Structure 1
């Protein structure tokens, strides 16, 4: 009997861990609580039981009891608060680039390299540690353990805008907009290859079956969550293209996985194949030129440029924008010079 496959999805905007398991065709009947204990990593019997009692476990979209016996091809969905951490969130005096702040929220221009919230191997030095120092109190709603004030996040090596809620009302109001996909988010991305025209990438995004650290795009609904990225060509620079991405959904690694799926990984993205020469001859002056660009921008070329949303108090739509950071700008300028002078080819 082959192993059942669990597709664990955690969106930017969501405050819970969503788990979906499709039972194997040869699954022997087994109590659902025992089944989940065998299939869900880093959990406890108590957490599973509490989830069942709370109605957070469904089989074939129906709430069940712990005595329910899983059958072949059952679809089991489970919603769990993020696992509790062993340490508290400690306040740390870390400088923040605050773009805007009022009584309800603040916007931060996050530097590349900063982890957004504490987690495995990253319990200090995060944005949340810095926020805990700079603000007296941040809201923590159910399921938001270790991530006070956060209603979304961006990857460690992605720079740009994040909005943080300063009270429970703002957090609830903003989280609803993220859930309903009414937030306006635009990213600047430098990708490998010559994108001929604007376009849209869609598909079901889920964990890669061979490497769960990265995401993959699937055609089958049961393998992930629906995702949509629109992109617009801004500048063609030889073997790379500068584009703007507009997110319609906000899945983990969405832009990175989407662009890889169409053969245009982000420049410098080590997880998705962009940290090598994808276009152009891998030798001579051009090879040295690309390596120099990698040295200037030792991360994925992705920047959260703008963020627009309805303000929780005024109910007015507000829009914020920040410039690309120095490392991105330096690499981009080198590519512009290259496009103007192809002698490096």
Structure 2
């Protein structure tokens, strides 16, 4: 065994000592389960399930973690939080693992959460992995388990896993690759024909008049296979968006914003936002259609922020 191996084993032993240490004990959510937060969540997710409204409403199960979060202001002292997580992060930071990314979560639901329920929870550092090397860099996966209670009754379990890592050295960029080619078939050929003419075409069911996007062979409202098209005005607003940092794709230069744009006609489409930096894109921002030539053979519909 080399000196490097011994040092790595000793460091891992220090990390493993955190396994089983509580990160929070009998901590309390900042707010009871409440209808306004349920409504905001459902609107953001586009979830119109009837179980989440009315006098017998329940919270969407996937909101389990939301009731335990401290928000931008965090949790105040004396609310059951321990220093274990901060100590573990400081140890990893000192080893050069200064970056962090959430990797996945697992949830188990034991009973519905209803408006008025008081949320308490215990959290424990469940596991710290040996050193792993990923495309992002080299570091350790840390898994935290949170046991959530509603009015003192077990309500669910939430496991959250992050990678705390030292960023990999970036390799010199090769010659810029071409954007991926869209898949054009008999169901969407008309859409791409319209793009070549600088027209954004939306399908319209001739049976019930419902507009639909993306293009489909039949109406998902009345099942009619008959349709024609209407041309979009090009006006829209940002309904939702994400900023892509990782993974890198050939021909794309992260970070960049990918938005779900709601057109004035009522349908939504995914595209890029131009005219403003990626960190200035906002929900509700008005945008206008334009066509962007990305290479000699490909032109795409994108949306420019008004005034950008």
Give the TM-score taking structure 2 as reference length: 0.23
Which of structures 1 and 2 has the larger relative contact order (alpha carbons within 8 angstroms, sep 6+)?
Answer: 1
Structure 1 or 2: more strand by fraction:
2
Which structure is larger by alpha-carbon Rg, 1 or 2? 2
